[in-house]
Amino acid sequence: MQDHLTTLYKQLWNNRSLNEDSVGTDVLQMAIQKELKDEMTHPRIRKQPHEKYILAIKRILLSSLSEKDQILLINEYTMVLDLLKKES
């Protein structure tokens, strides 16, 4: 299942590099966490995780992925956002 989600993620964000050395779940969660923290943007213009979450959800919903796959990815994003909230 995680391999499937990782493939879906790569379809939407095909320019993103993933740490393929990690285990399936870790690869996807680390990539989503990095995206939600906006780590690929200069620190002065970074957005908050909830803002990045909304942008990611919009991108997922506007994609050509099936509704089932969209829900799976949205669920993964929601879980990672919840983890980030607990950390802070």
CA distance 13 to 23: 19
Residue 86 predicted with pLDDT over 90 = yes
**Cβ count within 10 A of residue 86:** 7
CA distance 24 to 27: 5
pLDDT of residue 82: 97
Q: Are 80 and 23 in contact (CB under 8 A)?
A: no
Q: Are 15 and 62 in contact (CB under 8 A)?
A: no
What's 45's DSSP letter? Answer: G
Q: What is the pLDDT of residues 16-73, one digit of tens each?
A: 667 665 555 688 999 999 999 999 899 999 999 999 999 999 999 999 999 999 999 9
pLDDT of residue 13: 85
Residue of 21, 47, 43 whose CA lies nearest to 35: 47
pLDDT of residue 42: 95
Q: What is the pTM of this model?
A: 0.87
pLDDT of residue 2: 80
pLDDT of residue 3: 85
